[in-house]
Amino acid sequence: MKVAVYRKEHFNAAHRLFNPDWSDKKNDAVFGKCNNPNYHGHNYELKVRLIGEVDPETGYVFDMKILSDLIKENVLKKFDHKNLNLDTTYFKELNPTAENIVVVIWNILREKIEKKYDLKVYLYETERNHVAYPI
Amino acid sequence: MKVAVYRKEHFNAAHRLFNPDWSDKKNDAVFGKCNNPNYHGHNYELKVRLIGEVDPETGYVFDMKILSDLIKENVLKKFDHKNLNLDTTYFKELNPTAENIVVVIWNILREKIEKKYDLKVYLYETERNHVAYPI
Amino acid sequence: MKVAVYRKEHFNAAHRLFNPDWSDKKNDAVFGKCNNPNYHGHNYELKVRLIGEVDPETGYVFDMKILSDLIKENVLKKFDHKNLNLDTTYFKELNPTAENIVVVIWNILREKIEKKYDLKVYLYETERNHVAYPI
Amino acid sequence: MKVAVYRKEHFNAAHRLFNPDWSDKKNDAVFGKCNNPNYHGHNYELKVRLIGEVDPETGYVFDMKILSDLIKENVLKKFDHKNLNLDTTYFKELNPTAENIVVVIWNILREKIEKKYDLKVYLYETERNHVAYPI
Amino acid sequence: MKVAVYRKEHFNAAHRLFNPDWSDKKNDAVFGKCNNPNYHGHNYELKVRLIGEVDPETGYVFDMKILSDLIKENVLKKFDHKNLNLDTTYFKELNPTAENIVVVIWNILREKIEKKYDLKVYLYETERNHVAYPI
Amino acid sequence: MKVAVYRKEHFNAAHRLFNPDWSDKKNDAVFGKCNNPNYHGHNYELKVRLIGEVDPETGYVFDMKILSDLIKENVLKKFDHKNLNLDTTYFKELNPTAENIVVVIWNILREKIEKKYDLKVYLYETERNHVAYPI
């Protein structure tokens, strides 16, 4: 009997979208105001979904307190109140679009969560734009 | 032409998480403050998804008014403003975790809804924790 | 590496549910107050999901600004502040239920978005009722 | 010891904004797409606030169930799933802007609620626009 | 230059509404399903508003981290995951209606926050019912 | 007959909280992670309230489209996708706390809106922290 469980956390971060191999003009054309060299920022909402068997002794798929702590320790500590481009190793050479951020977070969590759990990550950049990985 | 339709309802209930086969100490270690012997409670948000063919005469997969009434009659009447552990038969010997509640609700509704409809249930225990069944 | 990206837009519209082949009595029995001949209305929330490869140069699956403009040009311009029954060609002979609207919108957008992107549309008619297509 | 209590209800309605004394051109200039002669519509959220003494016997300022029923009977029954311009007496000669609707609702409720309660009404026309009366 | 600052916190609790001086019949008539002797529960949202001068050195009226900790220490520690009737001293002889809870919380916080700050407390019992004190 | 009308807009910005007259140590002690020298960011929700007479010809206190354009032109153009410390003149020597931002926005709008309208501004920095000015 498999059930999906979801946990939401959030973090606030600054970022800038650009491709260092492109001219300023092309970066402006593609990324518009998201290419502001002085950065802008977001309240990111992060939702993590695990699928697994319900443990008959606890009635849990996964303890939400432990999942929350695991996300805080491995993701929020690195990203919350940070500049994604400057303060993290992940986006030194990777554009911090929502798509790239969600894949980075999935890779971080995948190493920390037993393989018997199916893992999916959703990231809300604004109330109107969000992404999910894997599909 | 199959479409998925979703209906949200809610109920307010008290519950306590614990395993009667365990010591108090182990129950406290695993369930923490959710193990309060005097109970605590939640505003549960319940979302029911049906998938089916769109009826060409009505343009409906399923009449949302009928689905709402069916959920109220079979689920809310049993769970709303109740103590899940004490006032329901379902959780006399089953720990009322969100995982177990969502499976119980799915089983209740599965008997009331024609098999031609695919059925999935989502249960939000807090704004940050929710579950879904089946996967 | 495929990622799902979602964009939300909204429109406000009037509609009336009825089947012209039926008697008034049957229309009232099936559609109730949604059959008001003078129409009623909703704030529709529309969510569009694309699945595709992340472009390594931009870090985007699809530029959300372009997706937003595309939805505005092809859907909102036709439906926003309109009477779905009277002001659109789509619902002259098709009942504007949420189910039928979501399929119409999917068909409109499917023609405008390259086939390499998987497309799904979600439509929220009220806070409690929504639909999705395809399943 | 006075406390403020709030109750939210909602209704779905169609309307059209225009001034019959004006030319079509002026109506279009002022009301834009809200002047669609075939109407458009909204999910209106209605919030009613009463201020009064807490009854020492019940701990209530006002029973929320009774307030909800009173709003349903006197407001929702008249406005829900209606065309505000055509199906109500209130907007035969009054433009159904959010401002005018909120004053109409306040007047309706003021007659039904004892004067010892201070009454205020909030009306949300969209997620981004709302009004309140009195100030 | 006075500014109002607001901080939201939440707690989950069980409660039962009844008046011990009344018969069961009268309690049922007045409190309905809220009078369930086995309790029910809610996710309470708590919003605290302070009004004060903006400190020219910090740009703060009040440090939100300190306000959050103060609410957690003085309110959430007493009420979160508790049975309001059984586990707290406040509602031994006071009916735990939203009105009474909000006044109790205001009294608790008023003692902990300097008098130069104007204090108001809002309590959301469900998405549709909330209260505020003082008026 | 005065009615209050509210319009919500939003902007995304980066900022850093610190006092240049203080040591790094004191800035860290007071502003914590908000003092990150590389900035962090938020999705700011901005709500503007006007109070005025309902115009009998339009039924409007103020045209929400005009208010929205006025906010976009005078506030969002300056703050959206900007670094508040570096890209604006307002926070060169003023700490961009929510309190200071809300007063700055009020001052900007007060000059653009006729004095006959009472003006109040609400700023939501996160879902849990917001401010309002004037009180």
Tell me the domain boundaries of chain A: 2-133
Output the pLDDT for position E106: 98
φ, ψ (nearest 5 deg) of residue A93: -125, 20
For residue D114, give every residue at least 6 positions away whose Cβ sits within 8 Å of its Cβ, in sequence order, or none.
none
- The pLDDT assigned to D82 comes to 98
What is the model's pLDDT at position D131? 98
Grade residue A36 by pLDDT with cuts at 50, 70 and 90.
very high
Please confirm, yes or no, whether D34 is among the known catalytic residues. yes
pLDDT digits (tens, 9 = 90+) for F4-41: 999 999 999 999 999 999 999 999 999 999 999 999 99
| Cβ of residue C101 closer than 8 Å to a chain B Cβ | no
In this prediction the ipTM stands at 0.97
Contact F42 A39 (CB under 8 A): no
Residue C81, token pair as written in the block: 């502040």
E31 touches chain B (CB under 8 A): no
Mean pLDDT of chain D: 98
Residue C129 sits at the chain B interface (C-beta within 8 Å): yes
Mutate to test the interface with E, among D64, D71, D119 (most CBs of E within 10 A): D64
As a whole number of angstroms, the distance between CA B6 and CA B24 comes to 41
- C-alpha A110, offset from chain centre: 12
The CA–CA distances, whole Å, from E91 to D59, E10, E19, E82, E95 equal 11, 19, 11, 12, 6
Q: Is E125 a catalytic residue?
A: yes
3-state SS, residue F92: coil
> Which residues in D lie closer than 8 A to residue F53 (C-beta atoms)?
none
**How open is the CA angle A33-A37-A40, to the nearest 5 degrees?**
60
B40 and B33 in contact (C-beta within 8 Å)?
yes
* D51–chain E Cβ distance below 8 A for any pair: yes
Q: Considering chain C, what is the average pLDDT of its residues?
A: 98
This prediction has a pTM of 0.97
- Active site positions of A, annotated: 34, 81, 125
Helix residue ranges, H only, chain D: 24-31, 64-71, 77-79, 84-87, 98-112
Taking residues C56-83, report their average pLDDT. Answer: 98
Q: Give me the mean pLDDT over the A8-28 stretch.
A: 98
Cβ pair E30, E95 in contact under 8 A:
no
**Minimum CA–CA partner of A43 in chain F:** F42
The 10s digit of each residue's pLDDT in F64-119 is: 999 999 999 999 999 999 999 999 999 999 999 999 999 999 999 999 999 999 99
Q: Is F86 on the interface with D (CB under 8 A)?
A: no
Of A9, A59, A68, the CB nearest to B97: A59
C-F interface (Cβ pairs under 8 Å ≥ 3): no
Catalytic one of B9, B10, B34, B42: B34
pLDDT for res E63: 98
Exposed e or buried b for every residue in F30-39, given b needs 16+ CB within 10 A? bbeebbbeeb
Residue F89: predicted pLDDT:
97
| Residue C60, min C-alpha distance to chain D (Å) | 29
Write down the residue that tokens 């860290």 correspond to. Answer: F28
Query: Residue B59: which of C21, C32, C99 has the nearest Cβ?
Result: C99
Measured between beta carbons, the chain F residues lying within 8 angstroms of A14 are 14, 38-41, 83
Rounded to an integer, what distance in angstroms lies between the CA atom of residue B76 and that of residue B81? 9
Q: How many CB atoms lie within 10 A of CB C21?
A: 8
pLDDT (0 to 100) of residue B12: 98
E–F touching, 3+ CB–CB pairs within 8 Å: yes
Give the pLDDT score at D38: 98
Backbone phi and psi for residue A98, each to the nearest 5 degrees, phi listed first: -55, -40
Q: pLDDT tens per residue, chain B (135 residues)?
A: 999 999 999 999 999 999 999 999 999 999 999 999 999 999 999 999 999 999 999 999 999 999 999 999 999 999 999 999 999 999 999 999 999 999 999 999 999 999 999 999 999 999 999 999 999
Among D58, D119, D124, most E C-beta atoms within 10 A, so best to mutate, is: D58
SS3 label, residue F94: coil
- Confidence at residue F73, expressed as pLDDT on a 0 to 100 scale: 98
F134: number of Cβ within 10 Å:
15
- The reported pLDDT for the residue numbered A54 is 98
Yes or no: is domain C2-133 CATH 3.30.479.10? yes
Q: What is the pLDDT along chain D (135 residues), one digit of tens a residue?
A: 999 999 999 999 999 999 999 999 999 999 999 999 999 999 999 999 999 999 999 999 999 999 999 999 999 999 999 999 999 999 999 999 999 999 999 999 999 999 999 999 999 999 999 999 999
β-strand D118-124 against D40-53: which pairing, if any? antiparallel
Looking only at the bridges linking them, the beta strands covering B118-124 and B82-83 are unpaired
Touch criterion met for E and D (3+ Cβ pairs within 8 Å): yes
d(CA C10, CA C127): 13
pLDDT at C115: 98
The shortest CB-CB distance from B13 to any of E34, E41, E126 is to E41
Q: Considering only alpha carbons, which residue of chain B is nearest residue C100?
A: B59
- The structure tokens 């479409």 sit at B3
Burial (CB < 10 A; 0-12, 13-18, 19+), residue B56, is exposed
CA atoms within 13 A on the CB side of F37: 5
Q: What is the mean pLDDT of residues C9-21?
A: 98
- Residue A52 contacts C, CB cutoff 8 Å: no
Q: Do B40 and E126 touch (CB under 8 A)?
A: no
Residues E24-79 have pLDDT tens digits of 999 999 999 999 999 999 999 999 999 999 999 999 999 999 999 999 999 999 99
